[in-house]
Amino acid sequence: MKLSRLALALAVLPSFALAAEPYTAEPLVITSGRQAEPLRQATAATTVFERADIERLQVRSVPQLLSRVPGVQIGSSGGVISYSVRGTGTAQTLVLIDGQRVASASSGIARLEYLSIDNVERLEVTRGPRSSLYGADAIGGVIQIFTRRGEAGLHPQVRLAAGSHQTFQRSLSLAGGDDRTTFNLGGSLDESNGWDRTSDNVGADSDHDGLRNKAVHLNLDHRFNDGWVAGLNLNDQRGDSEYDDAYNFVPGQPHDEFRLSSYSGYVEGQLTDSWHSRIELGHSFDRNKALGAADSWNNGTLETTRHSASWINRLQLNAANQLTLGADWYEDRVDGSTAFAENKRDNHALFAQHSFKTERFGTELGLRHDDNQIYGNQNSWNAALSLPMGDNQSWIASYGEGFRAPTFSDLYYPGAGNPNLQAETSKTYELQWRADFSGTHLDASLYRTDIDDMIAWDSSANQPENIAKARINGFEASVARNLMGWQANLGLSLIDPRDRNSGHTLPYRARRILSLDLDRQFGTFAVGGSWRAVSQRYDDPANNRQLSGYGVLDLRTSWQSTPELRWDLKLDNALDRGYTLGNYLRPTTPLDFVGEPQPYRDAGRTALLAVTWTPQL
């Protein structure tokens, strides 16, 4: 993607401010301040997708949704989907489901591609460090997924879909309740033969990589009175994912049997008129069983289990002052066929955040202290100053600190771990501008992030060390508008992510990304399209191997044939562009332990037809 395209995009931004239909009202958000607040009051840059957005865009995975967020990049290496928020690494972004951490304690990665989109009620992406509220891993930001909730009455739903690569999707849910108790129970089964992601056609690399994913979810909420409510959340995904065998001189049929689950319960209410309290208990589980690889050392089982508890208190001191106080605890455990020197650790934390808001300005100041059994103590600060400019503009200047905890593999993997590793740390300085002009909603952020003690492989010591440093400068902007009947959302990201030791660009980070969504309703029919343009990237720290930039056009349409029946048709990569999100290393000889880079191709043109039945009972 050339710079001229971005210049054109910037020139287009002001045109969205022309007189047109008003833009929809902003929602409440939770992730930025760890409490419900209007989006305009959240000090962190936050993007929200509601269930209506998911259905309108016809996305079928969480990564597809994330690719529309300014500052977020989606990549793939060897079949594992990665996500980068503001140029940081995958393990430097915290992922929550209903408030529970779900990333593997061994790899630090949350397998978002396995999460059932049918169970997502809303998704919030808070960009920028939030370690002062959430602790470890919130350097780039926080991705939080909220699962489907119930409502009064009885609301069944059935969805069936079929598409390219012998893709079949089925889901069934039942939501209901009364004025006190609501529930949502559902399940889904997605199957696909996949496609041949590799080009060498050697051994098992010549086959298609299929996926089978079955999920079940349950949410139950009960309101005792006007002040107190409690609930339970259950989310479970299990399946089988095939991938290519890079060591294909003795071909195998490698695949992973996976399970991802999270369970949580909460109770919250008003202790006094000014004191709101919430208690959460949680459990998450991540298991991956690798089978069928030609090399036995590539087969095995790895499980991580996390138990957690939180107590969050919001004190409204007066009309202008609010104080949030809380305590967190969680315990990680790793088990499996690989024996780690240590297999359990716990973390205790206390945090406090004060907010002051008047018509002229607002402030926010927070501090969190984490005490981890393995890597020690860590303090994280944040501060923000908000300056409203009339009724339709505001400026926010902020400073935030973040840190990433070393994983069990970083610390204790047999023969390749370093138990002396410390947590990575970061400092971020940011200036935001938010505005609404005649229904046009605009956001822009200019930021700088410095990361110290990054964990990188030291070949001389044959183990990871705290030796890397990074500097990330970035600018991101978004525009949302109903323009001449079209709902338009435009996002732009410009980043310069550098290794401060070598001066090289961090691998798998595109410097420029542009995305555009357009949708319009014509009575019972709806049409829409999405365009994403991503600039070139490097897939190695030395910047010797370059991945080409690409542009992808997706088209969609839907028809509400009856009040109970909706038909959806989507065409992804409509122009059938060949592109790759990443490379994998294929050995050239049986003794080659480095390998030659080979493209791990994404799908060409694909189609999916779905019908959704929501009978009125």
Q: What are phi and psi of 6, to 5 degrees?
A: -70, -40
pLDDT at 12: 36
Query: Please, what is the Cα angle at 305 between 300 and 307, to 5 degrees?
Result: 175
- Return d(Cα 495, Cα 91) in angstroms, integer: 19
Q: Is the dihedral of CA 262, 423, 380, 474 positive or negative?
A: negative
pLDDT at 1: 38
pLDDT, tens digit, for every residue of 367-379? 999 999 888 899 9
Highest mean pLDDT among 181-195, 296-310, 454-468: 181-195
pLDDT at 617: 82
Q: Look at residue 323 and tell me whether its pLDDT is greater than 90.
A: yes
DSSP 504: P
pLDDT at 201: 57
% of the chain beyond a pLDDT of 70: 89
Q: Look at residue 266 and tell me whether its pLDDT is greater than 80.
A: yes
- Return d(Cα 282, Cα 400) in angstroms, integer: 27
542, 549 Cβ separation under 8 angstroms: no
Domains of the chain by residue range: 3-147+176-338+488-613
pLDDT, tens digit, for every residue of 577-611? 888 877 766 666 655 556 667 777 778 899 999 99
Q: Look at residue 52 and tell me whether its pLDDT is greater than 80.
A: yes
535, 1 Cβ separation under 8 angstroms: yes
% of the chain beyond a pLDDT of 90: 71
Residue 182 parent element (H or E): strand 181-192
- pLDDT confidence tier of residue 43, bands split at 50, 70 and 90: very high
pLDDT at 14: 35
Q: Look at residue 383 and tell me whether its pLDDT is greater than 90.
A: yes
pLDDT, tens digit, for every residue of 404-447? 999 999 999 988 899 999 999 999 999 999 999 888 999 999 99
Q: Look at residue 199 and tell me whether its pLDDT is greater than 70.
A: no
Q: How far is CA 365 from the centre of its chain?
A: 26
Q: Look at residue 304 and tell me whether its pLDDT is greater than 90.
A: yes
- pLDDT confidence tier of residue 194, bands split at 50, 70 and 90: confident
pLDDT, tens digit, for every residue of 100-116? 999 999 989 999 989 99
pLDDT at 545: 86
244 or 617, higher pLDDT: 617
pLDDT at 299: 82
Look-up of token digits 């760890």: 34
Closest CA to 370 of 400, 342, 405, 343: 405
pLDDT at 3: 36
11 or 268, higher pLDDT: 268
Look-up of token digits 């860590």: 378
pLDDT at 217: 95
- pLDDT confidence tier of residue 205, bands split at 50, 70 and 90: low
pLDDT at 592: 54
Q: Look at residue 6 and tell me whether its pLDDT is greater than 90.
A: no
243 or 615, higher pLDDT: 615
Length of the chain: 617
pLDDT at 8: 35
- pLDDT confidence tier of residue 254, bands split at 50, 70 and 90: confident
| DSSP class per residue in 192-253 | E------SS--GGGGS---EEEEEEEEEEEEE-SSSEEEEEEEEEEEEEEE---SSTTS---
Q: Strand, helix or coil at 545?
A: coil
- pLDDT confidence tier of residue 9, bands split at 50, 70 and 90: very low
- pLDDT confidence tier of residue 298, bands split at 50, 70 and 90: confident
pLDDT, tens digit, for every residue of 223-232? 999 889 999 9
Residue 583 parent element (H or E): strand 580-586
Average confidence (pLDDT) over 550-562: 96
Output the CA–CA distances (angstroms, integers) from residue 211 to 168, 189, 203, 570, in the order listed: 11, 10, 19, 20
Q: Look at residue 356 and tell me whether its pLDDT is greater than 70.
A: yes
Which residues fall within 8 angstroms of residue 265, CB to CB, at 6 or more apart? 230, 231, 232, 233, 280, 281, 282
Q: Look at residue 539 and tell me whether its pLDDT is greater than 90.
A: no
What's the chain's average pLDDT?
88
Residue 490 parent element (H or E): strand 486-499
- pLDDT confidence tier of residue 484, bands split at 50, 70 and 90: confident
- pLDDT confidence tier of residue 21, bands split at 50, 70 and 90: very low
Which CATH number does 3-147+176-338+488-613 carry? Answer: 2.40.170
Q: Look at residue 290 and tell me whether its pLDDT is greater than 90.
A: no
pLDDT at 22: 33
pLDDT, tens digit, for every residue of 79-97? 678 899 999 999 999 999 9
Look-up of token digits 């300085």: 429
